[in-house]
Amino acid sequence: MHSSSKAARDAHARAARIEAGLAAIGARLASPKTRIKTHVAVEQAATTALASAGATRWVGFTITETTQVDHRQENRGRPGAQTRYRRTEKTVFTITATIHADKVSYDAVTDGAFPLITNDTVMSGADVLAAYRYQPNLERRNHLLKGPQQVAPVYLQTAHRIEALLLCHFLAMLAEALIEREIRTTMSIQGLARIPLYPELRNCPAPSAPRILETFIDIARHQLINDDGQIVQTFQPQLTDPQQQVLDLLYIQPASTPQPTPAEMGAISTVRSAEHQYHRGMEPLAAARELLISLPGFSTTVAEVFLAEMGGDMSMFPAAAHLASWAGTAPGCNKSAGRVKSTKTRPGNRHLKGALGIAAMAASRSKGAYFSAKYRRIASRRGPMKALVAVEHSMLIAARNMLTNGDFYRDPALTTSSPANPPRPRHARSTSSSHSATRSSCSPSPTPRNHTRRYRPPTATTAGHRSLLSPAWSPSFS
């Protein structure tokens, strides 16, 4: 097989290797301080340089050996009539690179040629060539798999789940291929070169399945159902001319759409009854849901899961620490003889932790918010997973306080100057040394006294244990 694009790539790659080989030979011996002193060492160095550049086939070299004579005086000082000189000889090697034009021309004949190799011993050469030419169609299916179907990496623990997921994608690709083949075959039979599927009714010569399905994206059929789950009336959609043409090419009649079976109607009735009961149960918690939605990362679904697991009354938890421990977001405490064995969080409510994890991931990716700043600060030291748990803990405490006080969320980052790096609070100075903190830098310093003012830390004999725990304690000076 021959490819013109591959021929251009082959010629460019060969020229680049030749250029790299010439540069490698010149750079190896260009330095005056090179330690290569023998003919054999020079030859080995040049061969290694060409092999590393991949240009051994097209670049050759010739080594020229010359002797450089130099005279230097034997002793130091200003030279004179009696000064003795010593003759030194130095062997200098020069490499002259040459390009083998005959080999370059010979290899240029095969540029762009590549063999077709297969492990099928039954196929003939023509069959192998036909299979190779069909390869773009397979690549297009791969494009549909990653494009319209939006395949993304998914972690699955068992093999049958992987097989089930791949089966779903395969069935979707098979349905798209059948739709495209059916409509293009019908167009060929009816002699239609193109149909108006593009925006602004522009003609499309080869309709694709994603474009065909996108044409019907706003089409919906509505049904009026009574309290018993029975269909009262069905409202058929109004189709445009391009939509009707596509259905005709696919031999689909809108009026022949099958009605739901009694079993399907029973399932629909059960689902609608559950939805009605769910919305009726969430009505008393509508105000609490609006409060939680103001929290960054909390969507309507996360807020409803939170209320379904926790309820709107936070008085059942005496403090925020009890709520964090019950939910499984507080660090564990497992100590023995002063040794910390594990700080892993307890299991907690898995539904609540799952909702909080989704909210924490969304809030950590927001910009200019307190939760995102906290996530970045902890993730840099402890890792992303522990940072997410810390954000979940903060969000849980904030949600409890909001439901207790009935206030909407106010982001602390909006009141600080640097959300990502909030300023650290300085330690409060003692009252006895406040005059030194407020003294202007321009005023002269007082005359030093004969004794030294030293800070004496409180001990058990001077201050007592009670003064260490008292908030009114201040250091004393003597």
Alpha carbons 237 and 25: distance in angstroms, whole number: 76
pLDDT band at 434 (very low <50, low <70, confident <90, very high): very low
Residue closest to 330 by CA, chosen among 403, 399, 390, 402: 390
Does the structure show a pLDDT above 50 at 444? no
**Are 67 and 92 in contact, with CB atoms under 8 Å apart?**
yes
CA quadruple 305, 307, 311, 317: dihedral positive or negative? positive
pLDDT score at 18: 92
Terminal alpha carbon distance of the chain:
97
pLDDT score at 414: 58
Written as six digits, the tokens of 337 are: 């003889």
Q: What type of residue sits at position 231?
A: I
High-pLDDT (> 70) share of the chain, % = 82
pLDDT score at 90: 82
Alpha carbons 395 and 297: distance in angstroms, whole number: 9
Written as six digits, the tokens of 199 are: 């925006």
**Are 93 and 29 in contact, with CB atoms under 8 Å apart?**
yes
pLDDT digits (tens, 9 = 90+) for 50-71: 898 899 999 998 888 888 888 8
User: Which runs of consecutive H residues, i.e. helices, occur in 32-100?
Assistant: 39-53
Task: Count CB-CB contacts under 10 A for residue 394.
Answer: 18
DSSP H or E segment with residue 189: helix 159-190
Per the confidence metrics, is the pTM higher than 0.85?
Answer: no
User: What value does the mean pLDDT take over residues 168-175?
Assistant: 90
Q: Residue 410 has what DSSP assignment?
A: -
Bridge partners of 455, per DSSP, are: 477
Does the structure show a pLDDT above 90 at 138? no
Q: What type of residue sits at position 151?
A: V
Choose between 113 and 145: higher pLDDT: 113
Q: What type of residue sits at position 55?
A: A
Residue with tokens 């010593």, as numbered in its chain: 86
Q: CA-CA distances (angstroms) from residue 268 to 16, 51, 255, 256, 273?
A: 68, 73, 22, 21, 9
Q: What is the largest CA-CA distance in the chain?
A: 130
Written as six digits, the tokens of 319 are: 């403090």
Find the Cα–Cα–Cα–Cα dihedral 123, 126, 128, 133, rounded to 10°.
-150
User: What value does the mean pLDDT take over residues 243-258?
Assistant: 78
Q: What type of residue sits at position 315?
A: S
Count the alpha carbons within 13 Å of 37 in the hemisphere toward its beta carbon. 4
pLDDT score at 255: 59
pLDDT digits (tens, 9 = 90+) for 334-374: 677 777 776 777 777 788 888 888 888 888 888 888 888 88
pLDDT score at 258: 58
Across the chain, mean pLDDT equals 78
pLDDT score at 106: 92
Burial of 393 (0-12, 13-18, 19+ CB in 10 A): buried
**Are 445 and 435 in contact, with CB atoms under 8 Å apart?**
no
Q: Three-state DSSP class for 70?
A: strand
Does the structure show a pLDDT above 90 at 12? yes
Written as six digits, the tokens of 208 are: 């694709």
Q: Say how far residue 391 (Cα) sits from the centre of its chain.
A: 20
Residue closest to 411 by CA, chosen among 400, 392, 395, 389: 395
Residue with tokens 């179907």, as numbered in its chain: 149
Q: What type of residue sits at position 281?
A: G
Phi, psi of 463 (to 5 degrees): -110, -35
Written as six digits, the tokens of 398 are: 């904030």
